[in-house]
Structure 1
Amino acid sequence: MKIFLLGGTKDSVNIIEHVKNNYEAYILTTTTTEYGAKLALEGGSDETIARPLLKDEIIKIFINGDFDILIDATHPFAEHITQTSASIAKELKIPFIRFERPPINLENIDTSRIHYANSFDEAGKMIESNFPKGNVMHFAGANTMEEVLKHVPTERFYPRILKVAGSLEKCEKLNVNPDHIIPMKGAASKQENIELIEKYDASVMITKESGEIGGVIEKIDAANEKDIAIIMIQRPEIAGLNKNDMVSNLDELDIKLKSFF
């Protein structure tokens, strides 16, 4: 089977490795960065496209490449591309799977330092009013910095981002001090997070509710140990998704693939 995979996440790399080990399949993976494409190739993807694609481009590549199925394994917060992929599947009447990583289980975790927000603008306002002192570590990607920086001064702001051209340009545009940029390579361990909190004298950490695979538990544990606040952005409810198209683990993915093929 020929798979068109919308990737750029650890989930998508896991899918590539799993499919390649268990099926006869050709996989084209699209990511928004060269780093994401590199990880996809290392995972076994046959081909990659390392740039954002418009809806019409995805449709054209899918049809011209004679692909059998569209799998969306983008980040839980990549709301626009997930809505786009679901609408493409509906228009083309093609097999479609949305791989949605499960939310984190906080049942046995100390959540007393977590403050929930529905947007990054809300997070910035919360910090401005409730946490006016100490530095802010932004563990939520370069694309979300601007909303926070409407309310938080750049001298307090330390983003952990991929040091790629697009992210560095955003930092420059927003006047983020280059010395404040924390290079990112995958999810950090609890100890690494503790060391960052100490190094940058942080009083607040911003993160997304991106699931265990996104290192959220390690961030919470580190924040608890160092007694700092966490602003956690809750996942968006993505309109237009059919629950029957969604899977949350590789076993469920297998069931779906076998039902299609």
Structure 2
Amino acid sequence: MKIFLLGGTKDSTNIITHIKENYDAFILTTTTTEYGARLAKEAGSDDTIARPLLKDEIADIIKKENFDILIDATHPFAEHITNTSATIARELKIPYIRFERPITNLENIDTSHIHYAESFEDAGKLIASDFTQGNVLHFAGANTMADIVKHVSVERFYPRILKVENSIKKCEALNIDPSHIIAMKGAATKEENIDLIERYDASVMITKESGEIGGVVEKIEAANEMNIAVIMIKRPKIEMLNKNDIVNDLKEFDKKIKSF
């Protein structure tokens, strides 16, 4: 089978490895960065495209190359591409799977330092009104910085980003001092997060509700230990998704693939 995979996440590389180990399949993975494409190749993807694709481009590739399945394994906050991919699958009448990592289980974790926000705009306003002292660690990606610094001074703002050209340019456009940029790859450990809190004299940390694979638990535990606030952005609700399209783990994924 030929699989068109929207990737760029740890979930997507896990899926690629799983598919290549268990199925006879050709996989084309699309990511928005060269870094993501390289990880997809290392995981076993047969081909990659390392740039954002428009809806018509995705549809044309699927039609011209006769792909059998469309899999969306993008980030839980990549609302636009998930809506787009679900729409394409319906229009082309192609089997579709949305792999969505489960919500973080916080049952046995102290959540007293967490403050929930519906959006990054709301998070910026909350920090401006309630957390006026100390610095702000932004652990939510380069694409979300602008909504925060509308309300929070860049003098207090320390984003953790991938050190790629596009992300650096976004920092420059927002006048973020290069010394404030924290360049890291992958999820950080609790100890690494504690070190960043201490090093940058942070009083608040911004993160997405991106699931355990995104290091949410380690961020919360570090914040608890250092007695700082966590602003948690809630996941967006994807209107175009049918709940029957969604799988949360590889066991559900296998069951879904075998149903086609």
Interval containing the TM-score (normalised by the shorter chain) = over 0.9
Whichever residue aligns with residue 60 of structure 1, its letter is D
| 3-state SS, counterpart of residue 115 of structure 1 | strand
CA distance in 2, matches of 1:41, 1:255: 25
In the alignment, which residue of structure 2 is the partner of 1:39?
39
CA distance in 2, matches of 1:257, 1:241: 17
How does 1:219-230 map onto structure 2 within 5 Å?
A: 219-230=219-230
CA distance in 1, matches of 2:185, 2:36: 11
In the alignment, which residue of structure 2 is the partner of 1:83?
83
In the alignment, which residue of structure 2 is the partner of 1:159?
159
| 3-state SS, counterpart of residue 203 of structure 1 | strand
Structure 1 residues 75-98: Cα deviation after superposition (integer angstroms, max 9, x where no partner): 000000000000000000110000
Structure 1 residues 28-54: Cα deviation after superposition (integer angstroms, max 9, x where no partner): 000001111011001000000000000
| 3-state SS, counterpart of residue 244 of structure 1 | helix
| 3-state SS, counterpart of residue 218 of structure 1 | helix
CA distance in 2, matches of 1:20, 1:222: 36
How does 1:183-222 map onto structure 2 within 5 Å?
A: 183-222=183-222
| 3-state SS, counterpart of residue 137 of structure 2 | strand
Whichever residue aligns with residue 73 of structure 1, its letter is A
Structure 2 gaps, min length 5: none
Structure 1 gaps, min length 5: none
In the alignment, which residue of structure 2 is the partner of 1:64?
64
| 3-state SS, counterpart of residue 163 of structure 2 | coil
How does 1:100-115 map onto structure 2 within 5 Å?
A: 100-115=100-115
CA distance in 1, matches of 2:37, 2:175: 28
Per the TM alignment, residue 197 of structure 1 is displaced from its structure 2 partner at its CA by: 0.4
| 3-state SS, counterpart of residue 48 of structure 1 | strand
CA distance in 1, matches of 2:78, 2:217: 21
| 3-state SS, counterpart of residue 30 of structure 1 | strand
CA distance in 2, matches of 1:164, 1:62: 29
| Pair 1:181 & 2:181 matched | yes
| Pair 1:128 & 2:132 matched | no
Aligned pairs, number: 260
Per the TM alignment, residue 65 of structure 1 is displaced from its structure 2 partner at its CA by: 1.1
Whichever residue aligns with residue 172 of structure 2, its letter is E
How large is the Cα RMSD of the aligned pairs?
A: 0.4
The ranges of structure 1 where at least 4 consecutive aligned residues each deviate by more than 2 angstroms after the TM superposition are none
Whichever residue aligns with residue 93 of structure 2, its letter is K
In the alignment, which residue of structure 2 is the partner of 1:137?
137
| 3-state SS, counterpart of residue 138 of structure 1 | strand
Q: Taking structure 2 as the reference length, what is the TM-score of the superposition?
A: 1.00
Per the TM alignment, residue 20 of structure 1 is displaced from its structure 2 partner at its CA by: 0.4
Per the TM alignment, residue 240 of structure 1 is displaced from its structure 2 partner at its CA by: 1.1
